[in-house]
Amino acid sequence: MGDGWELLTRIRGPRDLDRLSPEELDGLAAEIRGFLVDAVSKTGGHLGPNLGVVELTIALHRVFDSPKDRVLFDTGHQSYVHKLLTGRQDFSRLRARGGLSGYPSRAESEHDVIENSHASTVLGWADGLAKANEVLGKDDHVVAVIGDGALTGGMAWEALNNIADAKDRPLVIVVNDNERSYAPTIGGLANHLATLRTTDGYERFLARGKDILERTPVVGRPLYETLHGAKKGLKDFIAPQGMFEDLGLKYVGPIDGHDIEAMESALTRAKRFGGPVIVHCLTEKGRGYQHAEQDEADRFHGIGPIHPDTGLPVKTAAASWTSVFGDEMVKLGREREDVVAITAAMLQPVGLKKFAETFPERVFDVGIAEQHAATSAAGLATGGLHPVFAVYATFLNRAFDQVLMDVALHGCGVTFVLDRAGVTGDDGASHNGMWDMSILQVVPTLRMAAPRDAEQLRAQLREAVQVDDAPTVVRYSKGVVGPAVPAVRRVGGMDVLREPGTVPDGPPGMSGMGGTPGPDVLLVSVGALAPMCLEIAGLLDKQGISTTVVDPRWVKPVDEALPALAAEHRVVVTVEDNGRVGGVGSAVAQALRDAGVDLPLRDFGIPPRFLDHASRKEVMAEIGLTAPDIARQVTGLVAKLDGRLDDEPSRAAAPARD
């Protein structure tokens, strides 16, 4: 660890905090901020959220005794300070293979509990842990940190309903209120928190009143106890009735989340309360780093590597799938007045900023509420509009039932645009978009497209919004959009990208292997993997194996022309950036069976495993989704068919976790 972090290097675990004086604690907070800017500007990561929880996390670990007490974080992107205070201070490979995860990780530390980076789950975890403590008679504490954004998620309110019902079950909820998700948090809850924020006089009044009365002889203490006992009435008088107290939850706050002493005092009171209690703390996302503080978009919520002195990105981003979608949405919006857009608190990350600036009345930010987004889209469609819900693929998982039972069952024309589909890599297991083309396979009437390049994204988005009686899905990868991949010809709704080459020293169309007429392999290339599939075909050519590469464009339903095209070949291979289980390969195999086309088929995709964080390229290599790996497998298969090999080569080695 570099020098300059004299206090931080003394902290090897939470209990080392107990020995620091108030002045040293403030010094530690300053060192942590400097460390975060220095480290995260090199690696990229969630700089803004973590700059906002420095004092909060120090106070948490001074008041509670982790890991005996469970300190839980919602979403977990704001757990860097927690890691620094629990023995993990090498951030040189943050979010990189073999380095620290960007989220809590049980493999890293006994202080970490929730690895799932999907928002709004922490209160469910906390309720379960608190119930377990009660059943087992343990007096350990459970403290859950949830952001104001995550608090807009439905799961949080399902948990609060249960938590509020157990008046004697200790549980501390810290609401980290920085008034933002990425952008300012929306909705009635945000407005209510704002109301509470502006009544901080109550806490100051109480603190000052307690101080005066405790110094008043004889009558002072009893009077304070009476006033404190009448606190509810007092609070009503000073602060509007909080919905948390309406729910039956004790509310403490609002507290300055950057004042360690005030936070410790509030957390200590909450810890002693003996029932569910909310500590509402006010923080600033990006605090202490001016470029983050001045970032209107999202306070440096999630950044790539930057120049620390300017805050400017080290690399300028090339055209992304997201930007292609965003630009096309604006054009669509001009042509179709019925097209409206929905985001779940991620307007800019999903590319809807320009649409929102152009059509402010036709975009709806529902907060971190993907289930509500899907069902409200069914309402919008039924009301005569065509909603486009743009969301990261992994986050649609939680809205599966709404897609099935609200949108599809009612024949609603809703288009789901899934960004970050496929392996994303550095955000870890819960962020890979590897389940959408499996879970959505079972939704009757739903049509799903996977564009291979920018032109196909524009085309397939337009085809999708033409469908007004069923859900449509368009899914694409994270990051820079790939090169244009032209079609050679159209078969049904599919694009042939490459005709089988004439195999060296064999007659045209004759396979070099086994000498049977017709090309050897039909390679079904799904979405953005088209360049890799063309590379595979080139490698197979060198093995004397002739290959047709076809892009189905719409992967659900399987194109009616595919079985007949397959029947011209000896082997079918599918390649997708989605889970193998129940993916496109499975659907193609089923379509061939249904059409009576009995051919060997090998499906290549993501194995049903949780993939540890690493770069996308590293993860794809680990799971064997590379051109050389697949070409080797297919060569072995064809050789086996020709009797030149007893068995096919084994698939790639299993990555970290099953």
Ligand X SMILES: CC(=O)[C@@H](O)[C@H](O)COP(=O)(O)O
Ligand Y SMILES: Cc1ncc(C[n+]2csc(CCOP(=O)(O)OP(=O)(O)O)c2C)c(N)n1
Rg of the chain over all Cα atoms, to the nearest angstrom: 28
Binding status of residue 95 toward ligand X by CB under 6 A: no
**How far apart are the C-alpha atoms of 493 and 475, rounded to whole Å?**
17
Q: Which of 77, 386, 569, 616 binds ligand X (CB under 6 A)?
A: 77
Q: Which of 41, 50, 66, 75 binds ligand X (CB under 6 A)?
A: 75
Provide the b/e sequence for 613-635 (b: ≥16 CB within 10 Å). Answer: bbebebbbbbbbbbbebbbbbbb
Instruction: Give me the phi and psi of 45, to 5 degrees please.
Output: 145, -165
Q: Is there a binding annotation on residue 120?
A: no
Binding status of residue 117 toward ligand X by CB under 6 A: yes
Q: Which of 14, 102, 149, 527 binds ligand Y (CB under 6 A)?
A: 149
Shortest-Cβ-distance residue relative to Mg ion: 147
Give the footprint of ligand X on residues 287-326 (CB under 6 A).
302
**Location of structure tokens 């460390």:** 35
Give the binding range for Mg ion (CB under 5 A) out of 139-147, 364-372, 385-393, 614-622. 139-147
Nearest CA among 112, 116, 174, 123 for reference residue 153: 123
Give the binding range for ligand X (CB under 6 A) out of 2-10, 216-224, 419-427, 648-656. 419-427
- The 450-489 site mask, x for binding ligand X (CB under 6 A), equals ----------------------------x-----------
Burial of 191 per CB tally in 10 Å (0-12, 13-18, 19+): exposed
Binding status of residue 49 toward ligand Y by CB under 6 A: yes
Strands 494-498, 547-551: pairing kind? antiparallel
Binding status of residue 148 toward ligand X by CB under 6 A: no
DSSP 539-607: HHHHTT--EEEEE-SEEESPPTTHHHHHHTSSEEEEEEEEESTTSHHHHHHHHHHHTT----EEEEEE-
- The interface partner of residue 143, options being Mg ion, ligand Y, ligand X, none and the CB cut-off 5 to 8 Å by kind, is none
List beta partners, residue 602.
573
Q: Is there a binding annotation on residue 119?
A: yes
- The interface partner of residue 368, options being ligand Y, ligand X, Mg ion, none and the CB cut-off 5 to 8 Å by kind, is ligand Y
Q: Is there a binding annotation on residue 178?
A: yes
- The interface partner of residue 111, options being Mg ion, ligand Y, ligand X, none and the CB cut-off 5 to 8 Å by kind, is none
Options 33, 62, 287, 398, the catalytic residue: 398
**How far apart are the C-alpha atoms of 58 and 6, rounded to whole Å?**
16
The pair of structure tokens assigned to 432 is 């890979």
**How far apart are the C-alpha atoms of 107 and 124, rounded to whole Å?**
22
**How far apart are the C-alpha atoms of 89 and 477, rounded to whole Å?**
32
Q: Is there a binding annotation on residue 463?
A: no
Q: Is there a binding annotation on residue 148?
A: yes
Q: Is there a binding annotation on residue 117?
A: yes
In the complex, the smallest distance separating the C-beta of residue 180 from ligand Y, rounded to whole angstroms, is: 5
Instruction: Give me the phi and psi of 528, to 5 degrees please.
Output: -70, -5
Shortest-Cβ-distance residue relative to ligand Y: 147
Q: Distance between alpha carbon 202 and the CA centroid of its chain, in Å?
A: 37
Give the binding range for ligand Y (CB under 6 A) out of 25-33, 133-141, 338-346, 438-446. 338-346
**How far apart are the C-alpha atoms of 421 and 435, rounded to whole Å?**
9
**How far apart are the C-alpha atoms of 10 and 598, rounded to whole Å?**
67
Give the binding range for ligand Y (CB under 6 A) out of 148-156, 202-210, 559-567, 647-655. 148-156
Reported in sequence order, the residue ranges of 99-156 that DSSP labels E, i.e. its strands, are 142-147
Options 83, 285, 602, 632, the catalytic residue: 285
In the complex, the smallest distance separating the C-beta of residue 179 from ligand Y, rounded to whole angstroms, is: 8
Q: With contacts defined by CB under 6 A, how many residues of the chain interact with ligand X?
A: 9
Options 55, 179, 328, 370, the catalytic residue: 370
Binding status of residue 178 toward Mg ion by CB under 5 A: yes
The pair of structure tokens assigned to 556 is 């659900």
Binding status of residue 147 toward Mg ion by CB under 5 A: yes
Give the binding range for Mg ion (CB under 5 A) out of 145-153, 236-244, 300-308, 521-529. 145-153
Binding status of residue 371 toward ligand Y by CB under 6 A: no
In the complex, the smallest distance separating the C-beta of residue 624 from ligand Y, rounded to whole angstroms, is: 28
Burial of 110 per CB tally in 10 Å (0-12, 13-18, 19+): exposed
- The interface partner of residue 345, options being ligand Y, Mg ion, ligand X, none and the CB cut-off 5 to 8 Å by kind, is ligand Y
The pair of structure tokens assigned to 646 is 């007893």
Residue 433 neighbours by CB distance under 10 Å: 27
Q: Is there a binding annotation on residue 149?
A: yes
Clarify whether 398 is annotated catalytic: yes
Clarify whether 370 is annotated catalytic: yes
Closer of 62 and 180 to ligand Y (Cβ): 180
**How far apart are the C-alpha atoms of 582 and 436, rounded to whole Å?**
10
Q: Is there a binding annotation on residue 48?
A: no
**How far apart are the C-alpha atoms of 232 and 234, rounded to whole Å?**
5
Q: Which of 148, 295, 453, 576 binds Mg ion (CB under 5 A)?
A: 148
**How far apart are the C-alpha atoms of 620 and 334, rounded to whole Å?**
39
Q: Is there a binding annotation on residue 328?
A: no
Closer of 75 and 402 to ligand X (Cβ): 75
**How far apart are the C-alpha atoms of 566 and 524, rounded to whole Å?**
9
Specify the amino acid at residue 501: G
Q: 3-class DSSP state for residue 36? A: helix
* Binding footprint of ligand X on the chain (CB under 6 A): 75, 77, 117, 302, 349, 420, 424, 427, 478
Q: Which residues are catalytic?
A: 285, 370, 398
* Binding footprint of ligand Y on the chain (CB under 6 A): 49, 75, 77-78, 117-119, 147-150, 176, 178, 180-182, 285, 301, 344-346, 368, 370, 395
Binding residues for Mg(2+): 148, 178
Binding residues: 77, 117-119, 148-150, 178, 289, 370
Binding residues for thiamine diphosphate: 77, 117-119, 149-150, 178, 289, 370
